[in-house]
Amino acid sequence: MFYRLECSKYYIMKIIRLFIYLAFIFVLSVGLPRMMRFFTDQPHGNTFIYYSSVDHAFCSINYDEAKDKVIRKNIVTGKEYSQSQFDSILPLFFYRQLYTEGRMPDSLNSTPITRNLINQKSFQYKYSPEDKNRPSIQLYPLFESVSGRVDLKMPEDLFRIDSKMEFIIPANNKLNKAKSEKYTNILNTLGFKFPAKSISGNPSARKMYDEGYFVTDSNNQIFHIKMVNSKPFIKKLNLPKTIIPAHIATYEPNDRSFYGFLYAKSGEIFKLSTSNYALEKLDIGDFNLEENQFLVYANPLYWIIHKNTQEGKFSYALDLKTNKIIDTNNDVYKVEEKSIMDYVLPFRVAFTKWNTKYFAPQFIFNGLSVFIFNLIFLSLFVVINVFRSKPNSYIELSLVAATGIYGFITCLLFKNKI
């Protein structure tokens, strides 16, 4: 009986020690890659690229480390400009500076330009994968779109769309049954299939006006829902069957020319026009919602569109008169050589990623080439144990062979063998 008890204690201690080893390996797989990246990473400059309405070409601002100065140039001709000259060739971007100096032209490309027109037609929009994947509370305010007031007022209730559309009053946690039934009945009449897949809107009172929400139902149908004069305004969009929405990003520009952007599962991006909900395709190639960034710099004449991918920054100039891409620029990134981390570290653990919703450990493996270094660390571990007159434990050898440098450091630090 005593012998069995001692054996049980022995194996329990082995299990506890193994758990400690694995926990320390996990800690190293989180901390060691970050430490190595801190000492080995090189800074990468971000080139600003904008389409010139004067030169009719893409121009850029970048910092040249070799010359230790900011380079402003025309990308096509390579001509460099001083800061004042560069302001002049990008008048629709640096218009505040030009108006201050009295150098702003009255017209560009035969189009009269006023400060009011620039303010009305200019905006900056950006999409990143975290925008789509960011978790949120599924309760939304539905503003009064025609309140007669300059400022929007937060409503007393919030809505959600599950098996039906419900309006809940947060002050007393009660359901507004009459309002809920009114909206739900209209949605049922229009063929809405509950529950909603996605609800896209701008739930903030800090905006010029409100265009409500674009809701995708279970059949990938899109419905525009807002409140006008305290009454429901609901319309079903007649999309082509070939377009299946993957994400909708609403945007409320000052000129009310469009509702936002529709990202299709096919990789296409469409501008959703306020003219009968027409879809205007942006001809910028395939777009990966989970990996790419999409930026728009708008002015009265052009939309400068940037698609940032792992391969580089791809820029497009969209002429608003013809709604066609008139120029492109590809700033392809240099393929980075593998760093020492890709060979020495068999894997690393990250807790956050821009295309995931929640905080969770993610194991990222570096490939089969790391096993060569794993064998080197295993051989070194055996040699060290021989000099320390310590027998080689099969479990320790297995840990070093499987986890490389992580197991090597762990097994050397802990003297108790398992």
Instruction: Output the average pLDDT for the chain.
Output: 88
Q: Which residue has the higher pLDDT, 22 or 338?
A: 22
Between CA 140 and CA 158 the distance in angstroms is 5
Between CA 184 and CA 243 the distance in angstroms is 26
Q: Report, as an integer, the average pLDDT of 205-214.
A: 91
Q: Which of 50-54, 211-215, 279-283, 362-366 has the weakest average pLDDT?
A: 362-366
Query: 5 falls in which pLDDT band (50, 70, 90)?
Result: low
Confidence at residue 46, expressed as pLDDT on a 0 to 100 scale: 74
Confidence at residue 164, expressed as pLDDT on a 0 to 100 scale: 95
| HSE, side-chain direction, 13 A CA sphere, residue 270 | 20
Amino acid at site 266: S
Q: Report, as an integer, the average pLDDT of 78-93.
A: 95
Q: Which residue has the higher pLDDT, 55 or 345?
A: 55
Q: What does the pLDDT look like over 95-113, one tens digit per residue? A: 999 999 999 999 999 999 9
- For 378, counting Cβ atoms within 10 Å of its Cβ (0-12 exposed, 13-18 middle, 19+ buried), the class is buried
Q: What does the pLDDT look like over 197-206, one tens digit per residue? A: 999 999 988 8
Whether the predicted pLDDT of 337 surpasses 60: no
Query: 44 falls in which pLDDT band (50, 70, 90)?
Result: low
Range 289-295 contact pairs with CB under 8 angstroms and sequence separation of 24 or more? 289/129, 289/132, 289/246, 289/247, 289/263, 290/129, 290/355, 291/129, 291/355, 292/129, 293/126, 293/127, 293/128, 293/129, 294/126, 294/127, 294/261, 294/269, 295/124, 295/125, 295/126, 295/127
Confidence at residue 84, expressed as pLDDT on a 0 to 100 scale: 94
Query: 412 falls in which pLDDT band (50, 70, 90)?
Result: confident
Q: What does the pLDDT look like over 340-394, one tens digit per residue? A: 666 788 888 877 666 666 677 777 777 777 788 888 888 888 888 888 777 778 8
Amino acid at site 338: K
Confidence at residue 256, expressed as pLDDT on a 0 to 100 scale: 93
Between CA 218 and CA 193 the distance in angstroms is 5
Confidence at residue 354, expressed as pLDDT on a 0 to 100 scale: 63
Which range has highest mean pLDDT (7-16, 64-73, 224-233, 352-361)?
A: 224-233
Whether the predicted pLDDT of 126 surpasses 60: yes
Whether the predicted pLDDT of 148 surpasses 80: no
Whether the predicted pLDDT of 10 surpasses 70: no
Residue spans of the domains in the chain: they are 2-40+340-413, 48-119, 126-298
Query: 396 falls in which pLDDT band (50, 70, 90)?
Result: confident
Q: What does the pLDDT look like over 325-335, one tens digit per residue? A: 999 999 887 65
**Residue 250 in contact with residue 267, Cβ under 8 Å?**
no
Closest CA to 317 of 46, 47, 98, 59: 59
Confidence at residue 387, expressed as pLDDT on a 0 to 100 scale: 81
Between CA 262 and CA 258 the distance in angstroms is 11
Q: Which residue has the higher pLDDT, 131 or 229?
A: 229
The separation between the first and the last C-alpha atoms of the chain, rounded to the nearest angstrom, is: 24
Query: 42 falls in which pLDDT band (50, 70, 90)?
Result: low
| C-alpha Rg value of the chain to the nearest Å | 30
Tokens of 186: 């209209």
Confidence at residue 397, expressed as pLDDT on a 0 to 100 scale: 86
Q: Which residue has the higher pLDDT, 144 or 365?
A: 144
Whether the predicted pLDDT of 121 surpasses 70: yes
Whole-number percent of the chain with pLDDT over 70: 90
Confidence at residue 18, expressed as pLDDT on a 0 to 100 scale: 84
